[in-house]
Structure 1
């Protein structure tokens, strides 16, 4: 579950909740820096930061954070190989620094706005600016719309003061507890204050500017509304795509068959005109109608897109493409080669290939972002 899902939940959730974000990760860890999850006052969790070894401790902090309205920064150091205090369920190692923020006031408004922006397909940059020894945080939301190869920036800025982050108030336990590095000149370990220790407010050398870049769910346009499309839609939704099913057969392209999915009824030229495909879109041809798919491919020669999967044999695809200008990002036969048989297994192979393609795009973006931001005092975590 990524930020586009979490912001949607935060925008509509009637329960009080806390946003947990891994703001620094070193060594081996389950998730990457910048990943977030939501924890509600009734114990519900959305998303994950670890394979389950940190979430119970994070949940135990929720009530205090919601009651005080204060943020906390918590350290989980699971790097020492001889440290058995985490038990057998850790499943990961490394250092993870987690920021816990009550979703209220300014932050809640920001997440509502973020959800609105991501629903339009925009790219959102969410920036936290820490000041005064990490006791004050300013939030900034920047929206980038991609149209005609031009980026249009709209900025929304809010400021929210938080009091000094409270120290970990856990009682003595035999098992070592994670450290909450909080007030200046004050540290808590295993529930005991270290009077002689002088701990700075930022012992992990966190940058004062933390920026995360979030892309909307990529759009998957499936041409065809036959029965074999049904399992593909379900798996693609789980894989983080927003789906549009397009077909010229009114009896197949219905909300009853595809609940919660965008629908586009029309012939090829009408479909492409209505959808306004762009370089972020994924396309699947699954109509099994040769003339219509040939028409779609002729129109796609003038369109940018991220992925084009064609259902059918190589021979059929060669006939479809015969005489057309070379098309980019073509995957045919569609799906990873796993020996799939039947519609369900084929759907799994298609979903796997879509995930692989999506991750490749995200990795390229992260690499480009790091090159742009090299030498700055902040980091950017790119996420789908």
Structure 2
């Protein structure tokens, strides 16, 4: 579950806490910067661990909500001889979690972030710790889409770390911080900028200014400023609303895509069949202006109607997009593309080559390929595929079955 979903859930949950892994060292289930929501009545949305930490985090929720103060919680699972965590710990790393009551100002920020995500806008959320980590200031800012700066979709220009985020959409807030007690360990790590290829959300680390009592208020050597950069959900446009599209839409939503189903058949293109998706009804010439395809979009042709798909492909010639999957054999795809200028990012047959059989397994192969392309993972990127490895799709036509 990503921040887009958490922001939407926070809007309906009146008493909840945002938990964020602000420091991760060693092996851990999730990466630094990931968040989850915990409610007063015991509901959990998202995860930080495979289940090792969530019960303890949930036990802190009432106190955080009662005091309306933030807490740091440390989980140090690195010592091999430390049996205090029992047999449920399978990570062996250090995780420092920041728990924030979702009320007043933070709730307002999450609402604005949700609105930004809905409009397809990037968001930077900055926490600046002050007064020796006893107070925190929030900044948030909408970031211009990467395509307007002619940069790859997953490589936005990060906000300069030593500068305050400032524009018309900026909100600055102050909230008191409370530290949880416990046996604290001091581990020094250098503050670094995240790799441009790192999985989002990312944390931009700003070196802290040493103080005389830094170890009493900041035992984990946290940077003074943390900036998390979040992108909108990538949009997956599926052309076709047949029965085989249903599992593809369901799995793609679970994989973090904003799914749009487009078809000219009203009886098939319905919310009863595709709950939680956006529906666009019409023939290719009618839906293309509505879709406004851009370079962050993923498209899949699954209508099984040759003339309609050919018509739509002709209109995609001058469009920018991230992925174009075509359902069907290589022969059918070759006929569809015959006479057209070369199209970009074509994946055909659509889906990873996992030997899939039947709609559900084919949907899994498609969802897996979408995830691989989203994170730019490709076994063919180096031009070499080892024997027995799973082949990911690349540009152009791909041989082999799913």
Q: Same fold (TM over 0.5)?
A: yes
Deviations for 1:248-272, whole angstroms, at most 9, x for unmatched residues?
Answer: 2222222232222211111212211
Do the aligned partners of 1:145 and 1:153 also contact (CA within 8 Å) in 2?
A: no
* Compared CA separation, residues 148 and 63, structure 1 to 2 (3 A): closer
For residues 329-363 of structure 1, give each alpha carbon's deviation from its aligned partner in whole angstroms, at most 9, with x where no partner exists: 111000111111111111111111111112228xx
1:165 aligns with 2:178: yes
Contact (CA 8 Å) 2:184, 2:219: kept in 1 or not? no
Contact 2:13 2:39 in 1 (8 A): no
1:243 aligns with 2:259: yes
Residue 128 (1) aligns with residue 141 (2): no
Whole-angstrom CA distance in 2 between matches of 1:154 and 1:323: 49
User: How far off its partner does 1:110 sit?
Assistant: 0.6
Distance 1:121 1:178, change over 3 A: farther
1:295 and 2:311 correspond: yes
Give the Cα separation in 2 of the matches to 1:20 and 1:132: 22
Q: Which has the higher contact order (CA 8 A, sep 6+)?
A: 1
Say if 1:218 and 1:241, in contact at 8 Å, map to a contact too. yes
Return closer, same or farther for 1:272/1:180 CA change in 2, 3 Å cut-off. Answer: farther
- Aligned 1:179-328 pairs, distance under 5 A: 179=184, 199-328=215-344
Q: Alignment partner for residue 156 of structure 1, among 153, 170, 173?
A: 170
Q: Is the 8 A contact 1:131 1:137 kept in 2?
A: yes
**1:310 to partner: Cα distance:** 0.2
Change over 3 Å in CA distance of 1:350–1:166 after alignment to 2: closer
TM-score (norm 2): 0.79
Q: How does 1:4-43 map to 2 (within 5 A)?
A: 4-14=4-14, 16-43=15-42
How many corresponding residue pairs? 336
State the 4+ residue runs in structure 1 displaced beyond 3 angstroms. Answer: 150-154, 177-181
- Unmatched 5+ stretches in structure 2: 151-165, 187-212, 378-402
Contact 1:306 1:329 in 2 (8 A): yes
| Structure 1 unmatched ranges of 5 or more | 169-176, 182-196, 362-384
Query: TM-score with structure 1 length normalisation?
Result: 0.83
SS at match of 2:259: strand
CA contact (8 A) 2:72 2:179 kept: no
The residue number in structure 2 matching 1:336 is 352
Please report how far the alpha carbon of residue 63 of structure 1 lies from its aligned counterpart in structure 2 after TM superposition: 1.1
**Closer/same/farther in 2, CA of residues 352 and 153 from structure 1, 3 Å limit:** farther
